[in-house]
Every structure is written in C-alpha cells, then in structure tokens.
Amino acid sequence: MKQISIVSGKGGTGKTTLSGALNFLFQNNTAADCDVDASNLYLLLNPKLKKQYDYYGGKKAFIEQDKCIKCGKCQTLCRFDAIDFINEEFKINEYSCEGCNLCVLKCPVKAIELIDNRAGEYYLSENKKMKVIHGSLEPGEETSGGLVAEIRKKAIEVSKEEKTDYIIIDGAPGMGCPATSSITGVNYVIIVTEPTKSGIHDLKRIIDTTKHFKREFGIVINRFDLNIQNTELIEKFCKDNGIKLLGNISFDETVLKATQKQKSIIEYDSKAKEDIINIFNNLMEEIS
C-alpha cells in the first residue's frame, strides 16, 4: 500500500479539486481528508456515513471556584496567557489552555484539575468506489495535527482490511502541525501551487518543509495560464533545482461549475480533466 499526500502551502490552490479527481482515477484506493479545519473532500466524494469516532485532544484545566482563594499564582505562572481574571474570578480561557498541567501542580489549594476535552470527531464513510476517512475539528480547537494522525491511522487500518493499493490524502494548508502530520511517512507528496506571487512564496516554504521531512515530491501548477510569466518562473525554479513537475492544470470554469454541483471535475469532459489525467499518468510513472 502506498500513501500519496496532496498539499499546497497556500490555501485555495486546488488541493481538494486534484485529490478528489485522483481518488476517482486510481483503481483501488482509500481516501483520507486531513484538512480537518476545512474538511471539504467529502463534499466532492459524497460518501455515506458508516461510523463516527470521538477525538479527544489534549486536556484542559478547570478551576473550581469554591476552592479558589484568588491568589493569582496560576495566572502568573501560565506561559500561554490562558488564565483570565473576569468578574473577580480566575477562569481558564479554554481556547488558550494547552493542558500542560502546570497550574494544577502549583495551585496551593488544589482548586484546579485537568479534564478531558473532546476536540472533534472523525468518520468512516463509503461511496460506490471507495472508503473515505474524514474528520472535523471543533471550531477553535488546537491539536489538529493529532486529529490528522488519527485519521491517517484509521485510513491505514481500512486500507489493510480492504486490501487497497493506495491511500490518497487531501492534506492541510500551511506548513505547521496539520500540514506536516499530513506528509510524515507518506510515499509521495504532490505540491499544488498557482502562478501568483503569493503562490510562489508559499511554494518555496512547503518545498523546504517537505525536504525537512525527507519526502519525495512533485509539483503541479494549477490555473497555469492565468499568469504565464509566473508559470515560467515556477517551471524554471523546478528545473534549476531538479524538482519534478508533474504537470499543469488549465484555468477552466468547468472546475467551478463542478464544485458548485459537488461533483469531481473527472465527471465533466473538460480541459482541466485532460490535464489531470496527464498528471495522473506522470504520477504513476513516478511512484511505480
């Protein structure tokens, strides 16, 4: 079984469009949506929900007001600015608390305890072609990298049961914990970029991140014809640095129409579909 992850650095460059399409082009695969902040892949794959699992992230501190003597020691010691003083009471800011336990250890009257925190959920779903593992983080939660790890673990388990050859992972944007959790240990990373100055800036950072984690990778330039000059810059950058260019995808309004109907571009005969099939063929050569 091979794991292929699609990431981008900059958001909105077409990760989900490409990973949705690849999930239909591969013959025998499991899909995993690791963009848990903005989990959109299931909208394209349209699977039926089979099972739901709770995800518990890190714990959070809780102050028992009856016991608190308002000494303020917890607030002074907390390194995450997670203790507020509101209406004469010390309270944990649940968004800032990282659950480190320091305040619990240091409270002189043992008024603070750590409690479990349900930070999201993840699901096993299924359409006619494949099993889909996806999840969603409660808005505002941390530990999204942890949820990504759970989703990938479940995807591997399902792929082994179903004997699928590939897991196609829709990764998270950026280059922090959810993005890196989407690429650790995978067999191949596809980086999707766009020919904008922002796209080029972010591309370099995600390439460095991918190299940091020692993964093999190739580049796709989406909407390449929107700014040919910038596309040529990216192509030259890839060539100069010995980076594989898997292919370009045309700017094609069919993509928007397909997305609005919650369909993959693969279901519409279009220029973008041809481009993606070409990318798929190049990818197969790279990973086989």
Partner 1 sequence: MKIAVLSGKGGVGKTLVSTNLTNILSKYTKIELLDCDVEEPNSNIFFNFEFNKKEKINLLVPEIDNQKCTKCGLCADSCQFGAINVFNHGVMVFNSLCHGCGVCSIVCPHEAISEKEKSIGTIEYGQKNNIYFGQGLLNIGEPSGVKIIRTLKKHSKNINLQILDAPPGASCSVVETLKNMNYAIIVTESTPFGFHDMKSVIEICQKMGLKMGIIINRYDKDYTEIEEYLNKNNIEILEKIPFSKEIALMYSKGELISQNDKYKIIFQNILNKIGVVQ
64 or 94, CB closer to partner 1? 94
Q: Which residues bind partner 1 (CB under 8 A)?
A: 8-13, 16, 37-40, 43, 58-59, 79-81, 95-96, 98-102, 105-106, 114, 137, 139-142, 144-145, 172-180, 194-199, 201-202, 205, 208-209, 212-213, 226-227, 230, 256, 259-260, 262
Find the shortest distance in angstroms from Cβ 159 to partner 1: 26
43 or 68, CB closer to partner 1? 43
DSSP state of 80: T
3-state secondary structure 110-179: CCEEEECCEEEEEEEEECCCCEEEEEEECCCCCCHHHHHHHHHHHHHHHHHHHCCCEEEEECCCCCCHHH
40 or 187, CB closer to partner 1? 40
164 or 230, CB closer to partner 1? 230
Handedness of CA 153, 15, 195, 278 (dihedral sign): positive
Distance, CA of 5 to CA of 166 (rounded, Å): 10
DSSP state of 27: S
Find the shortest distance in angstroms from Cβ 153 to partner 1: 15
* Residue 218, SS3 per DSSP: strand
Find the shortest distance in angstroms from Cβ 165 to partner 1: 28
Distance, CA of 187 to CA of 104 (rounded, Å): 42
Find the shortest distance in angstroms from Cβ 166 to partner 1: 24
CA dist list (Å): 267 to 12, 71, 226 = 21, 64, 23
Find the shortest distance in angstroms from Cβ 287 to partner 1: 25
196 or 282, CB closer to partner 1? 196
71 or 105, CB closer to partner 1? 105
Find the shortest distance in angstroms from Cβ 82 to partner 1: 10
